[in-house]
Amino acid sequence: DDTSRQAPPPGVVSGLFTEDWRVHGSIYSSPEIFRLEQERIFRRCWLYVGHESELPEPGDYKTTFAGTQPVIVTRGSDDGVIRVLLNRCRHRGASVCHDEAGTANFFRCPYHGWTYYNSGGLRGVPYDDAYTRLDRDRLGLTALPRTETYAGFIFTIFAEEGPSLVEYLGNAAPYLDLAAQAGPEGIQLSANSHKIGYDGNWKLQLENTQDGYHFAFVHRSYLAVLSDRAGTPPPVVPNLMANWRTADLGGGHSLGEDTTAAEVTARGLIGGLPFNVVVFPSLAIIGAQVRHVLPKAVDRTEVRLYPMMLKGADNAVNAAILRNHEEFNGPAGAGTTDDMEIAFFRTADGKAATEKDWVVMSRGLDTEKPGENGIVYGHALDELPHRAFYRQWRRLMEEEES
Q: Considering beta carbons, is residue 28 or 114 the nearer one to ligand FES?
A: 114
Q: How far is the CB of 43 from ligand FES (least distance, A)?
A: 24
The answer to whether residues 103 and 85 touch, using CB atoms and an 8 Å cutoff, is no
Which residues inside 100-129 make contact with ligand FES, applying CB under 6 A?
109, 111-114
267 binds, among Fe ion, ligand FES, none (CB under 5 to 8 A by kind): none
Q: Of the ranges 91-99, 164-172, 339-347, 356-364, which one interacts with Fe ion (CB under 5 A)?
A: 339-347
Whose Cβ is closer to ligand FES: residue 94's or residue 375's? 94
Q: Is 207 in the site for Fe ion (CB under 5 A)?
A: no
> Which of 34, 29, 26, 13 shows the shortest CA–CA distance to 398?
13
How far is it, in rounded angstroms, from Cα 384 to Cα 363?
7
Alpha-carbon span 191 to 193, nearest angstrom = 7
Q: Which of 339, 357, 382, 383 binds Fe ion (CB under 5 A)?
A: 339
CB of 103 closer than 8 Å to CB of 90: no
Q: What SS3 class is residue 306?
A: strand
91 binds, among ligand FES, Fe ion, none (CB under 5 to 8 A by kind): ligand FES
Q: Which is nearer to ligand FES, 108 or 391 (CB)?
A: 108
- In the bound complex, which residue of the shown chain has the CB atom lying closest to Fe ion? 339
Outline where DSSP puts E strands in 106-231.
106-108, 115-117, 122-124, 146-150, 153-157, 187-188, 194-198
**Amino acid letter, residue 7:** A
Binding residues for ligand FES, rule CB under 6 A, total 10
Q: What is the DSSP string of 269-301?
A: HHT--SEEEEETTTEEEETTEEEEEEEEETTEE
- Residues between 82 and 101 that touch ligand FES (CB under 6 A): 89, 91-94
339 contact, one of Fe ion, ligand FES, none, CB 5-8 Å limit per kind: Fe ion
Least spacing, CB of residue 90 vs ligand FES, in Å? 8
Cα distance between residue 41 and residue 54, in whole Å: 26
Give me the least distance between CB of 336 and Fe ion, in Å please.
7
Q: Considering beta carbons, is residue 127 or 316 the nearer one to ligand FES? A: 127
Type and span of the H or E element at 316: helix 315-329
Applying CB under 6 A, the residues found at the interface with ligand FES are 89, 91-94, 109, 111-114
Residues at the contact surface with Fe ion, assessed by CB under 5 A: 339
